[in-house]
């Protein structure tokens, strides 16, 4: 962080919310499109998936609910709206396309929730907020792809819906380091807390 940036944010964007009492874990869009080199959305994010899988096992041991999201469109993409118009490679998320399949090692458990979405936020147009509220959860441990896209959108909406966003630094990823780091910085400054994988595991273990 540059001295100018530090000075600009110092005393303004330094708040911490802390971990909630009843978290849920979300894994956002860990699908084949980001892991297969021939895909136009390939992002080289195997490390983020590995970290998310470690956290998932800790969550399962601690009986913390696990939620997954994936983008699924009608074959014609007409439910993709402006998002699909803007980002042509989203055609790979048409129902039945292999790029929309789960990344290797990420098959959801039978008792775990899978949400289909058509836009960046896991909250927009889904039952996520209602599900968390009804079950008494106050916070969301956020992992997934990509940091500057669906992770950020979910973080902002998480905060806007009154839940605590906890972003796991090692378990989110992007196709380029600069937008990844910039969005981690901004989410941590304004919307939620960016924490390490070890901190997240300790919080749910305790």
Report pLDDT digits (tens) over 25-54. Answer: 999 999 999 999 999 999 999 999 999 999
| pLDDT tens, residue by residue, 137-195 | 999 999 999 999 999 999 999 999 999 999 999 999 999 999 999 999 999 999 999 99
Taking 90 as the threshold, does the pLDDT of residue 7 lie above it?
Answer: no
Instruction: Please report the pLDDT score of residue 15 as a whole number.
Output: 76
Range of the domain at 97: 21-205
Separation CA 165–CA 20 (nearest Å)? 9
Instruction: Please report the pLDDT score of residue 68 as a whole number.
Output: 98
Whether 195 is covered by a domain: the verdict is: yes
Helix 46-61 and helix 197-205: axis angle, to 10°? Answer: 10
- Average pLDDT in the chain: 94
Whether 3 is covered by a domain: the verdict is: no
Q: Are the CB atoms for 32 and 98 separated by under 8 Å? A: yes
Whether 7 is covered by a domain: the verdict is: no
Q: List the catalytic residues.
A: 150
For residue 121, the domain's CATH number is 3.40.50.850
Instruction: Please report the pLDDT score of residue 10 as a whole number.
Output: 63
pTM over 0.95: no
Whether 4 is covered by a domain: the verdict is: no
Return the exposure string of 78-109: e unless at least 16 CB atoms fall within 10 Å of the residue's CB, then b.
eebeeebeeeeebebbbeebebbbbbeebeee
Whether 2 is covered by a domain: the verdict is: no
Whether 8 is covered by a domain: the verdict is: no
Domain count, the chain: 1
Whether 77 is covered by a domain: the verdict is: yes
Whether 65 is covered by a domain: the verdict is: yes
């Amino acid at each position: 962080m540059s001295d100018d940036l530090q000075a600009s944010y110092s005393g303004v964007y330094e708040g911490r919310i802390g971990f909630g009492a009843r978290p849920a874990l979300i894994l956002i869009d860990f699908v084949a499109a980001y892991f297969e080199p021939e895909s136009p959305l390939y992002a080289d994010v195997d490390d983020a998936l590995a970290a998310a899988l470690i956290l998932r096992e800790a969550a399962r041991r601690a009986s913390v609910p696990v939620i997954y999201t994936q983008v699924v469109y009608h074959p014609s993409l007409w439910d993709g709206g402006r998002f699909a118009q803007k980002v042509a490679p989203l055609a790979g998320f048409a129902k039945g396309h292999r790029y929309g399949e789960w990344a290797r090692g990420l098959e959801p458990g039978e008792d775990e929730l899978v949400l289909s979405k058509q836009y960046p936020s896991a909250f927009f147009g889904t039952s996520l907020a209602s599900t968390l509220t009804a079950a008494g959860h106050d916070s969301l441990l956020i992992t997934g792809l990509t940091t500057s896209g669906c992770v950020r959108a979910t973080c902002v909406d998480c905060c806007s819906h009154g839940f605590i966003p906890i972003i796991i630094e090692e378990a989110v990823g992007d196709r380029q380091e600069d937008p990844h780091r910039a969005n981690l910085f901004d989410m941590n400054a304004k919307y939620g807390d960016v924490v390490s994988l070890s901190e997240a595991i300790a919080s749910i273990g305790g």
